Amino acid sequence: MGILQRIASPADLRQLSIDQLPEVAAEIREAISRQVSKTGGHLAPNLGVVELTIAMHYVFDFAWDRLLFDVGHQCYPHKLLTGRQHMLAGLRTGAGMAGFPEPRESNYDLFSVGHAGTGISTAVGMARGDSLNREGFDPQTTPNGRRVATIIGDASIVNGVAMEGLNGAGTLKRQFLVVLNDNGMSISKPQGAIARYFDHLRTSAHYKDFKSKAREILKGVPGGHVMHDVYHKMGEGMKAVINEGAWFEHFGLVTIGPIDGHDFPTLIQHLTEARNFDRPMVLHVKTVKGKGIPFAEKDSSTFHSPPAFSVVPDPDSAVVPALESEGCRVELKRDGRSFTSAFGDAMADLMARDGKIVAATAAMPDGTGISKALARFPDRTFDTGICESHALDMMAGMAKTGLKPFMAVYSTFLQRAFDQCFQEVSLQGLAVRLCLDRAGLVGGDGAVHHGFCDVAILRVLPKAAIMAAMDEPSLKACLEFMRSYEEGLSSVRYPRDNCSERFASEPCPPFVLGKARCLTPQFDLDGPGNNGSGVPDVAVLAFGTCAIDAMAAADMVAGTHRVAVYDARFAKPVDIDLITALLAREVPIITVEDHSVVAGFGAAVVEAAAEAGANAGLITKLGLPDSWIYQDSRAKQMALAGYDAAGIAVAIRKAARPAPTEPVVRPTGAVARR
């Protein structure tokens, strides 16, 4: 049995000697790497913080003290040290642990968090709350009080919310520790002036004997008398690496480092001193993303959050490779063509045909597929770093100059820039185009990353054109429509999934504002494809890829029900002519969406029907319920929500009016004829 298996809680960890900690680190890396190779997950970020996480738990008692994560995807080592080793085998599923901090799992996780930039502000709130409750650490009055520490990394320090948090942290008059995990990376290479500052600091900073010139340096620092007092409260280790020119000093935070984030004695020494420091402090820790696994270190962007992968031996070697081996090839397990890849190719093609198009992303060039455009058109493609609000404002500015901006962003991160969509884009009547990857349920990343509300927040904006793609041809057609749409904001959403091939060989009609596409021409009311089949028993208006699931559901009930399936295409404006025509013939309508039923596509259909005086009571809405759905496979999540093919089939049977001559299976099992 290894050491890690004997650690049931951080209290067990603190019984070990410092000399035993490297073995614990090695075992954690092995456990994480083996599991991620089977299920996928965040690999490189977690490998980089192993020593740092161990040292934090070795010095602090986070059963009492406060630990706030900023980038939550660096929490795997923390979870393994806090009683959740038995949950690792079910990583990112309902049977195991979430890939982000999750208070439902453990009291050691204070917030369920997956968005960058928030850790410092929530930590400031807890520090203030503990002080008001007279539980906060104070060396004079409450030496056993709660300490507060937050870990921020993967370049999220450049996020605007993080800046606001630092501004607030500098006003605290108590212990408060910000650990800056500086690995030189975001999800991919970080961008911007602040990132360049840290690049320079990492390469130029060296360990100094500060003691001999401390007083001279402190004289030149604003508020030197305060810093002089601070200096005398520090231990000798911190005096040696105080960063007198640090950027954080302008926020009122004493800054130490950078120090080696993989050296246990150094980490423990500085964390021990920071633990008892009575002022806000930043401990700048330099780490290597992907540390300990050569292929993850070499390509930390690819292995930031890889799917399952296998380690393939060198055919010329008889040795079976370990995960750490250099003499191996790593194969990522993929099946089919993803919407992300389809978008990346389509976007690059669009930019090749239209020199007015510019594109941007917020730290996700690989995750959104924009990396292809970035490589081909570096002067027209921008990565702003983890700064969604800035990116949208920048796009608005470019639109004002006559360019055609496309912003590629995960649906879950669009929420951080809604104010810009409203104020700088829609209110100005500007045409900015949003390409929303990871829309709907996202599988293993769980509730923190579901794209569940983009339709709801965007459809309040006047003249917005809100769309969804059901497959690759429709995605291309949608992007072409967006290229020419100048009336206001437009958006297209698509899931973290592969593109269906069901309609790939058929011509894809162009997008026409507010018009749906019938996928079952034989049931298209008075359409040219209707060969006398008559009025359908039920119509399914499906938004996005749900149209493919609706077709599968229609196949399931084909023997008993005539089902018209429509690719709705637009959530704003909805196809009111189609809706009223169906309801006028008393055809029940089922709306299906990979989005919340609250204020989503289905709600838009019901509202439009009611406003037109049609019978909205014939409409059934399927989509995400008004409750949280946690981590698991996307297929299981859709089944739980009731809008996979089987769930749609159940709704069809329940809603459909019986066919004229066909036997109909009722939900109760009774057989009837019309």
Statement: residue 188 has pLDDT above 70: no
Rounded CA gap, 634 and 202, in Å?
40
Number of domains into which the chain is organized: 3
- Domain shared by 382 and 420, yes or no: yes
Q: Which helix (H) or strand (E) holds 332?
A: strand 328-332
Statement: residue 632 has pLDDT above 80: yes
Instruction: Please give the share of the chain, as a percent, with pLDDT higher than 90.
Output: 77
- Domain shared by 527 and 659, yes or no: yes
Angle between the 50-59 and 264-275 helix axes, to the nearest 10 degrees? 40
CB atoms within 10 A of CB 220: 10
165: nearest Cα among 118, 131, 116, 111: 118
- Using pLDDT thresholds of 50, 70 and 90, give the confidence band for residue 158: confident
Q: Which two tokens stand for residue 1?
A: 């049995």
Pairwise pLDDT comparison (314 vs 483), residue with the higher score: 483
In Å, how far from its chain's centre is CA 203? 30
- Domain shared by 443 and 521, yes or no: no
- Domain shared by 345 and 473, yes or no: yes
Q: Give the pLDDT score at 71.
A: 79
Statement: residue 76 has pLDDT above 50: yes
- Domain shared by 417 and 555, yes or no: no
- Domain shared by 408 and 549, yes or no: no
* Mean pLDDT computed over every residue of the chain: 89
Q: Identify the sign of the CA torsion 219, 223, 229, 230.
A: negative
CB atoms within 10 A of CB 335: 7
Backbone dihedral region for residue 154 (phi beyond 0: left; psi -120 to 50: alpha; all else: beta)? left
Question: DSSP label at 103?
Answer: T
- Domain shared by 656 and 557, yes or no: yes
Pairwise pLDDT comparison (56 vs 333), residue with the higher score: 56
Please report where in the chains the tokens 């060039």 appear, as a residue.
Answer: 365
Amino acid at 179: V
- Using pLDDT thresholds of 50, 70 and 90, give the confidence band for residue 179: very high
Residues contacting 435, CB < 8 A, separation 6+: 343, 347, 368, 406, 407, 408, 409, 479, 491, 492
Statement: residue 235 has pLDDT above 80: no
Q: Is residue 158 in a domain?
A: yes
- Residue 447 to residues 94, 439, 494: CA-CA distances in angstroms? 12, 12, 17
- Using pLDDT thresholds of 50, 70 and 90, give the confidence band for residue 213: very low
Q: Is residue 39 in a domain?
A: no
pLDDT per residue over 556-586, tens digit each? 999 999 999 999 999 999 999 999 999 999 9
237: nearest Cα among 263, 215, 211: 211
Q: Which helix (H) or strand (E) holds 543?
A: strand 538-543
Range of the domain at 615: 517-672
3-state secondary structure 152-171: EECCHHHCHHHHHHHHHHCC
Q: Give the pLDDT score at 35.
A: 97
Amino acid at 214: A
pTM of the model: 0.88
- Point out the domain boundary residue: 461, 493, 525: 493
- Domain shared by 525 and 598, yes or no: yes
CATH number at residue 605: 3.40.50.920
- Domain shared by 460 and 556, yes or no: no
- Using pLDDT thresholds of 50, 70 and 90, give the confidence band for residue 311: confident
- Using pLDDT thresholds of 50, 70 and 90, give the confidence band for residue 208: very low
- Using pLDDT thresholds of 50, 70 and 90, give the confidence band for residue 184: confident
Average pLDDT value for residue range 393-408:
98
Q: Give the pLDDT score at 312.
A: 77
Rounded CA gap, 161 and 449, in Å?
18
Torsion of CA 524, 526, 528, 530, to 10 degrees: 60
- Domain shared by 541 and 645, yes or no: yes
Q: Is residue 297 in a domain?
A: no
Rounded CA gap, 464 and 199, in Å?
41
- Point out the domain boundary residue: 460, 493, 526: 493
| Residues paired with 286 in a beta bridge | 182, 260
Determine contact, residues 429/465, Cβ cutoff 8 Å.
Answer: no
- Using pLDDT thresholds of 50, 70 and 90, give the confidence band for residue 330: confident
Buried b (16+ CB within 10 A) or exposed e, 115-143: bbbbbbbbbbebbbebbeeeebbeeeeee
pLDDT per residue over 283-309, tens digit each? 999 999 999 999 999 988 889 999 999
Q: Is residue 649 in a domain?
A: yes
653: nearest Cα among 628, 624, 620, 608: 620
Q: Give the pLDDT score at 618.
A: 98
Q: Give the pLDDT score at 402.
A: 98
CB atoms within 10 A of CB 599: 16
Amino acid at 499: C
Q: Is residue 9 in a domain?
A: no
pLDDT per residue over 578-607, tens digit each? 999 999 999 999 999 999 999 999 999 999
pLDDT per residue over 19-69, tens digit each? 999 999 999 999 999 999 999 999 999 999 999 999 999 999 999 999 999
- Domain shared by 573 and 648, yes or no: yes
- Using pLDDT thresholds of 50, 70 and 90, give the confidence band for residue 247: confident
Average pLDDT value for residue range 355-380:
96
Rounded CA gap, 552 and 547, in Å?
9
Q: Give the pLDDT score at 236.
A: 60
Lowest-pLDDT range, 143-147, 190-194, 429-433?
190-194
- Point out the domain boundary residue: 493, 525, 542: 493
- Domain shared by 280 and 370, yes or no: no
CATH number at residue 137: 3.40.50.970
Q: Is residue 469 in a domain?
A: yes
- Residue 481 to residues 30, 196, 360, 474, 487: CA-CA distances in angstroms? 49, 38, 19, 10, 12
Rounded CA gap, 261 and 270, in Å?
11
Determine contact, residues 468/492, Cβ cutoff 8 Å.
Answer: yes
Q: Is residue 450 in a domain?
A: yes
Q: Is residue 13 in a domain?
A: no
| Residues paired with 672 in a beta bridge | 664
